[in-house]
Structure 1
Amino acid sequence: MAAAAAAAAAVLARLAAAFLLLAAQVACEYGMVHVVSETGGPKGKDYCILYNPQWAHLPLDLSKASLLQVRDWTTSVLCSPADLPAKGFSNQIPLVARGNCTFYEKVRLAQGSGARGLLIVSKEALVPPGGNKTQYDEIGIPVALLSYKDMLDIFETFGRVVRAALYAPKEPMLDYNMVIIFIMAVGTVALGGYWAGSRDVRKRYMKHKRDDGPEKHEDEAVDVTPVMICVFVVMCCSMLVLLYHFYDQLVYVIIGIFCLASSTGLYSCLSPLLQRLPLCRCRVPDNSLPYFHKRPQVCMLLLALLCVAVSVVWGVFRNEDQWAWILQDALGIAFCLYTLKTIRLPTFKACTLLLLVLFIYDVFFVFITPFLTKSGSSIMVEVATGPSDSATHEKLPMVLKVPRLNASPLALCDRPFSLLGFGDILVPGLLVAYCHRFDIQVQSSRVYFVACTIAYGIGLLVTFMALALMQRGQPALLYLVPCTLVTSCALALWRRELGMFWTGSGFAKDLPQSPWAPASADGPQPQVDSDAAPSQQPPGQEAAPSPPPTEQPPESSVPEESGAGAPPQEPESPAGLAPGPAPGPSA
C-alpha cells in the first residue's frame, strides 16, 4: 500500500513539474532591449530578447523604461558569489554568459549585488528563462535572454560603453500587412480564375482556326484526374516530410525549381500583353537552330531573357529583406496565374476530391504533427518558416511574404514577415476557374465565379481572425475549403443545376451560341454558293434535307469549305464543342 502511494506521489510530482514547465513556456514572451551609446554616435536600436513576465514585468512603453548602464560581464557565467565583481552591479544591467547553473541562481546573485536587470547571452537557440512560483516571488528584477550575435552587433555599432532599456510593447492582434496579403491573394484568385475560364472557352471556339496567331501557340491545359490527385497528394506529403528531416539539403532544390517555374509563369503572363502591342513584329531570320527554326519574334526572345533575368536577380539577392520580398511576390503571383491557366479541373466532383484531400493534408500537418514530433513543433509551420536550427538559414520561396508594418517584438524576434502559401491560393483558385468556365457555358452571368471569389475572400478573412485569436500558424485551407465548396454547391442547388455542375455535363449539352464566341474570330467569312448553304445553319440545328441540283453531279452536293480541296466536315455540336467530356484546347 505504501509502495502504491509512493508511486502515485511520484507520478503526481512529475505531472506537477511538467505543468510548471508548460506554464513557464506559455508565459514566455518576446521583448525588446533599446540600446544607445553613452558617448553619442549612432541612433538607438532595438534588439530582440526572450523574457518571462513571471520574474518581473517589463513596461509597455519605451518612455516608461529606465535607461541603465550595461555592464559587460560575459567572461563569467555568474553561477557563484565568486563570479561577482568587487563593487557589484549597482543600478546596472549585467551581460553574463549562459552556464550550467539555473536562471534562478544567476538572477538571485545579480539582484543581491544591486543589478536592475539581467541579460543572459546565449550562443544557442533562445529558451524560456523558467523557474517555480517560489523563485518568481523572490525575484523582483527582469531576466531575459539575448542572442550572442546581437551582443556582437551592439558592441560593433555602439562600442563597449552603452545604456539599455528593457520594454515589451503590446503585440497588435493583426498587422496592417494582412491587407496587402488579402488584396494579392484575392486578386490572384479572381484574375487567375477569370483568365483560365475565358481562355479555355476561347480556345474551344478557335479550335478550327487556321491562322498562325498567338492563340495557336498557347500551352495546352491539363485536365486533372482522380489518379493524378492521389499521386499529387502523396508527393506533397513525401516532400514535406523530407524537407522536415533534410531541410538544408533540399531547400536549394526548391529554390531552383521556383526560379525556373516563376520565370516561365512571368513569361506566360506578359507575352499576351506584349503581343497586343503594334510593335516588334520582326522575326528571327531563317536558320536551322533548335526552336529558332520556327522564327520566333525578337520581342518574345527579349521578354524571355527579361523574365529569366528577374528570376536570377531574385535568386542571388533572395535574402535581402528590404526589397527581395517584392520580387518574390511578383514571381509568385505570376507562377500562380500560370498554374491556374494550365491546370484544369473538369468537374465539380474533381474539385471536391482535390479540396477535401488537401484540407485533410493541411490540418494534419499543422495540428496533428506536433503530437508526433520529438520537438512538439508542427511540420508544416516548421518547414514554411524555416527550422530554427537550420545551418543555411534559408527560407522556402513558395509563399507570398510581406514584412510586418507594426513595430513589435514578434516582428523583430520571430516572424518579421507574414506568409501565405501558394497552395492557399492555387487550390481554391482551381475551383474559381471551374466556376467561371461553367458560368460561360450555361450563360449564368458569372454568378458562380463571383460567388466563389467572394467566398474565398470571406474564408481568408476568417483565417486572419483565427490567426489573431490563436496567435499561432493556421492551416488556411481549414477555412477556405468549406467556404468555397459550400458556397458553390449551395448556389448550384439553388439554381437547380447541381447535376450539371457536379459532372461538368454543362460543357457538352446543347446550349445556345455563347456571346463569348467572337463573331469575327476568323475574319470576314467568304461568300459561298447557294449549293453550300446547308453548312451555314446555326450550331445545334440539323440541316434540312434538300434535293440535289439537277445540273450538278451528285458528289457536288456535299458542302464545301472556303479552302479548296477541304475534306468533308462532320456536323459540329453547338458552340463548336464536341459531344462527350470536355476536351483540352487544341493548339
Structure 2
Amino acid sequence: MAAVAAAALARLVAAFLLLAAQVACEYGMVHVVSEAGGPRGKDYCILYNPQWAHLPRDLSKASFLQLRNWTASLLCSAADLPAYGFGNQIPLVARGNCTFYEKVRLAQGSGARGLLIVSRERLVPPGGNKTQFDEIGIPVALLSYGDVLDIFRRFGRMVRVALYAPHEPVLDYNMVIIFIMAVGTVAIGGYWAGSRDVKKRYMKHKRDDGPEKQEDEAVDVTPVMTCVFVVMCCSMLVLLYYFYDFLVYVVIGIFCLASATGLYSCLAPCVRRLPFGKCRIPNNSLPYFHKRPQARMLLLALFCVAVSVVWGVFRNEDQWAWVLQDALGIAFCLYMLKTIRLPTFKACTLLLLVLFLYDIFFVFITPFLTKSGSSIMVEVATGPSDSATREKLPMVLKVPRLNSSPLALCDRPFSLLGFGDILVPGLLVAYCHRFDIQVQSSRVYFVACTIAYGVGLLVTFVALALMQRGQPALLYLVPCTLVTSCAVALWRRELGVFWTGSGFAKVLPPSPWAPAPADSPQPPKDSATPLSPQPPSKEPATSPQPAEQSPEPCMPEEMGAGAPTREPGSPAEPEGQDQDQAQPCPVAQPGALA
C-alpha cells in the first residue's frame, strides 16, 4: 500500500510541475509603430516567460524602443554582436544553435533593453533555471516569422516597438452570444422534434397531399447504433489528429452538403406558407425532378446550396464568415434533432454516458499519451498549430472574442462550442418533450431539461474561466440534464414509464367497440346489435349519420390514449376513400372480447 501511495504522490507532483511549467508561459503583445509616422500602430503576438522579466500590463506604461533587425545573426557568440552594441534597442535575432540564456545574456551585456527571437516553428516559452532568471533583467520573447514579415511590409525597416502583457479577462462577452445560440437551438430543436414526432403518430393514418409535404422519417437510435457511432467518432478524431491536412477538406465538404440540407429543412415549412410560387415544373424523367416539385421549393433548394457554397469559398474570412457558419451550423443541428430520435430514456442514458466518457478521455487523458502533451480533442477542434493548410474544422459554433486580449490575438481568437455539445443533450430534451405531450404533463420535463442544459453550460463557462484551458462541455452538461430528468420523473412517480418509454404506447382501456375488419368498411349485416338505427328512408350506408348517433372510430393502439378522435357529428367517410383512414367499428356481441 505504501508503494502504491508513493507512486500516486509522485504522479501528482509531476502533474503539478507540468501545470506550473504551463502557467510560467504567458502570451503578450508587441505594439509596432513606424518611426516615419505612416500607418497606425498594430499589435502582434509574443510568447514570453515572466520568470525572465515581467512586462507592464498597460501600453501607456511601456517604453517605445527602436527595433534592431539582427536576424542575419543567431547571437550565440560575442562575434555575432554589432560593433557598437544594442544601446537602448530591442534586437530581433534568429532562433537556433544555442540556448535562450546565451542569447539574452549577450544582448543584455551589449545594452539591449529586451530581446525578440524570431521562430519559424511553433512558439515555445523561453526556458531557463533559477540562477539564470536572477541574472537576467530584460524581457525575452518569441515572435513568429510570419509576423516579422508583416511588420517590415507594413511599417518598413525603421520601427519602434513596446512590449506589454495586458490582463486576460475572466470571461469574454462573446460567451453570452454562444449561450443564447446554444440554449435557443436546444430549446427550439427539442420542441420542434417532439411536436413533429407526436403529430406524425397522431396523423399517420392520414394521406399526404403531395410530395412536397412528405417529411423525412425519424431514425430511432438503438444500442448497436450507439456503439458504432462512438467507435466511428473515436476513429475519425484520431485520424484527424494524424492526417489533419488531408481529412479537413473532407469534413468541410460534408459540412457544406449537410448544412445545405439542414437549412432547406428549416426553411421549407415557412416557404410552403407563401401564397405564390405553387406552380410545378413540367413533366420530365430527370432524377429528383420526376416528382415535379413546386417552383418555390426549387428556388429554396438553390438558395440553400448557394449559401453553403458562399461559406465554403469565403470560410477563412474572419470578419464575417463566422456568421454564415453559425447560421448553417444551427440549421444543421435543428435538422439532426428532428431526424434522430431516442425512443427511451434508457437509450438517452446510454448515449450520453458513453459520449461523456469519450469527451473526458480525449480532453484530459490524451495529453498523457501524445508526444506533444496536447489534447487530441482541443488540437483537432482548434486546428493543429503546425498545420500546413491553416484550415479549421467547421463543426463548431464560433464567435470572435470581443476584447483586445493576448489570448484573442495569439492563441484562440474565437470562442468555440462543438455541435456535439448541442446535439447530444438536445436529443434528451426532444425525448422529454415527446414524453410530456404523451403523458400530458404540461411540458414539465421539457422545461426542466432545457433549464438544466443552460445551467450546465454556465458551469462549463465557469470552469473555462478558472482553468484557462479547453473544457469538455459534456462533462458538465450530461450530469445536469440526466440528473434533472431523473429527479422530475421520481417527483412525478413516472420513472418506470419514463425509463422504458412506455408512455408512448399506452394500451387503451377496454372498449365495447371491436376493431373493424380491414377489408370491410361497413359493419356486418348479421350483427346482433346494429351500429346505429337507420332512418325509415332507404338511403345508402354512406350517408351522414345523426350527430347523437355517430359511432366512435377505431384508434390504432400505438397512437396512445391522448390521440384525437373525430368530433361527433362529422359525416361518415365515403365508401371510395382509402382503407387506411379511421372507420367506424361495430359493437361487439354480448360476451365477446372487446
Q: Report the TM-score range of the alignment, normalised by the length of the smaller protein.
A: 0.7 to 0.9
Match of 2:545 among 495, 504, 529: 529
* Structure 2 residue matching 1:346: 3-state secondary structure: coil
When residues 528 and 377 of structure 1 are mapped into structure 2, their CA distance, relative to the original with a 3 A threshold, is same
Change (3 A) 1:453 1:100: same
* Corresponding residue of 2:106: 109
Other-structure match for 2:168 = 171
Which residue of structure 1 lines up, in the alignment, with residue 246 of structure 2? 249
Does residue 562 (structure 1) correspond to residue 574 (structure 2)? The answer is: yes
Is this contact kept in 1: 2:28–2:48, CA < 8 A? yes
The answer to whether the 8 Å contact 1:24/1:131 transfers is: no
Task: Choose between structure 1 and 2 for higher RCO, CA contacts under 8 A separated by at least 6 residues.
Answer: 1
> Cα offset for 1:572?
9.9
1:81 and 1:226 mapped to 2: Cα distance? Answer: 69
- Amino acid of the structure 1 residue aligned with 2:475: L
The code of the aligned residue for 2:104 comes to V
CA contact (8 A) 2:205 2:581 kept: no
Q: State the alpha-carbon separation in 1 of the partners of residues 580 and 52 from structure 2.
A: 89
Which residue identity is paired with 1:250?
L
Q: CA RMSD in A?
A: 2.4
2:343 to 311, 335, 346: 346
Matched, 1:405 2:417: no
Q: Any idea what SS the aligned residue of 2:47 has?
A: strand
Tell me how far apart the structure 2 counterparts of residues 231 and 413 of structure 1 sit (CA, whole Å). Answer: 38
* Distance apart, 1:213 and its partner CA: 5.1
Structure 1 residue matching 2:388: 3-state secondary structure: coil
Q: Determine the structure 1 residue equivalent to 2:392.
A: 395
Q: 1:88 aligns with which of 85, 89, 96?
A: 85
**1:274 Cα offset (Å):** 0.5
Residue 126 of structure 2 aligns with which residue? Answer: 129
Instruction: Output the amino acid matched with 2:573.
Output: E
Using a 3 Å threshold, how does the CA distance of structure 1 residues 397 and 572 change in structure 2: closer, same or farther?
farther
Deviation digits for residues 191-213 of structure 1, max 9, x if unmatched? 00000011111122221222415
Distance 1:365 1:571, change over 3 A: farther
Which residue of 2 is the match for residue 484 of structure 1? 481
Query: Can you list the C-alpha shifts for 1:35-62, whole angstroms capped at 9, x where unaligned?
Result: 0000001000000000000000000000
Distance 1:226 1:320 in 2: 41
1:509 shift after superposition:
1.0
Deviations 1:59-90 (A, max 9, x none): 00000000111111111111111111111111
Structure 1 partner of 2:321: 324
Query: Are 1:382 and 2:379 matched, yes or no?
Result: yes
Residues 1:35 and 2:45 are matched in the alignment: no
Counterpart of 2:304 in structure 1 is 307
Q: 2:363 aligns with which of 343, 350, 366?
A: 366
Native 8 Å contact 1:442 1:511 kept in 2: no
Please give the alpha-carbon distance, in whole angstroms, between the structure 2 residues aligned to 1:157 and 1:356: 52
Q: What does residue 588 of structure 2 align with? A: none
Match for 1:224 among 215, 221, 225?
221
The 2-side partners of 1:197 and 1:90 are apart by 72
Q: How far does residue 389 in structure 1 lie from its aligned partner after superposition?
A: 1.1
Residue type of the alignment partner of 1:73: W
Deviations 1:246-295 (A, max 9, x none): 11111111111000000000000001110011121111122222222211
- The one-letter code of the counterpart of 1:331 is L
What is the distance in 2 between the residues matched to 1:567 and 1:148? 75
CA deviation digits over 1:79-115, x for unaligned, max 9? 1111111111111111011121111111111111111
For the structure 1 residues 301 and 563, does the alpha-carbon distance in structure 2 shift closer, same or farther, using more than 3 Å as the test? Answer: farther
Aligned residue for 2:38, secondary structure, equals coil
Give the letter aligned to residue 267 of structure 1. Answer: Y
Rounded to whole Å, the distance in 1 between the matches of 2:347 and 2:57 is 52
Which amino acid in structure 2 is aligned with residue 380 of structure 1? M
Contact 2:211 2:293 in 1 (8 A): no
TM-score by length of 1: 0.86
Aligned pair in 2 of structure 1 residues 238, 568: CA closer, same or farther (>3 Å)? closer
Unaligned runs of 5+ in 1: 1-14, 513-525, 542-558, 574-587
Whole-Å Cα distance in 1 between the matches of residues 300 and 91 of structure 2? 58
Which consecutive segments of 4 or more residues in structure 1 shift more than 6 A?
A: 15-22, 568-573
Corresponding residue of 1:581: none
- TM-score calculated relative to the size of structure 2: 0.85
Aligned residue type for 1:562 = P
- Kept in 2, the 8 Å contact 1:203–1:215? The answer is no
1:61 has 2:52 as partner: no
Equivalent-residue separation in structure 2 for 1:53 and 1:220 (angstroms)? 59
Does the residue aligned with 1:294 lie in a helix, a strand or coil? coil
Distance 2:434 2:36 in 1: 68
Equivalent position to 2:194, from 193, 197, 222:
197
- CA offset at residue 564 of structure 1? 1.7
452, 455, 458: which is aligned to 2:452? Answer: 455
More displaced stretch, 280-289 vs 303-312: 280-289
Matched AA of 1:144: A
State the shift of 1:536 in Å. Answer: 3.0
Partner of 1:498: 495
Structure 1 residues 412 and 568, CA gap change in structure 2 (3 angstroms): closer
Aligned equivalents of 1:146, 1:173: Cα separation in 2: 25
- Percent identity between matched residues is 84
State the alpha-carbon separation in 2 of the partners of residues 126 and 568 from structure 1.
69
* Distance in 2 of aligned mates of 1:258 and 1:182: 22
Letter aligned with residue 363 of structure 1: I
Question: Cα distance, 1:373 vs. partner?
Answer: 1.1
Three-state SS of the structure 2 residue aligned to 1:44 is strand
- The reply on whether 1:422 has 2:419 as its aligned counterpart is yes
Shift of 1:26: 2.9
| Per-residue Cα deviation, 1:439-468 (whole angstroms, up to 9, x for no partner) | 111111111000000000000000000000
Q: Is the 8 A contact 1:528 1:562 kept in 2?
A: no
Counterpart of 1:126, as a letter, is: L
Shift of the 394–572 alpha-carbon distance from structure 1 to 2, 3 Å rule, reads farther
Structure 1 residue 569, shift from structure 2 partner = 7.0
Distance 1:572 1:438, change over 3 A: farther
Measured in 2, the distance between the counterparts of 1:251 and 1:293 equals: 35
Structure 1 window deviating more from structure 2 (151-160 vs 388-397): it is: 388-397
| 1:407 shift after superposition | 0.6
Per mean C-alpha deviation after superposition, the further-off stretch among 84-93 and 426-435 is 84-93
1:47 equivalent to 2:59? Answer: no
| Equivalent-residue separation in structure 2 for 1:488 and 1:25 (angstroms) | 39
The size of the alignment, in residue pairs, is 529
CA distance in 1, matches of 2:214, 2:16: 64
Deviations 1:420-457 (A, max 9, x none): 00000000000000000001111111110000000000
Look up the equivalent residue of 2:552 and give its one-letter code: Q
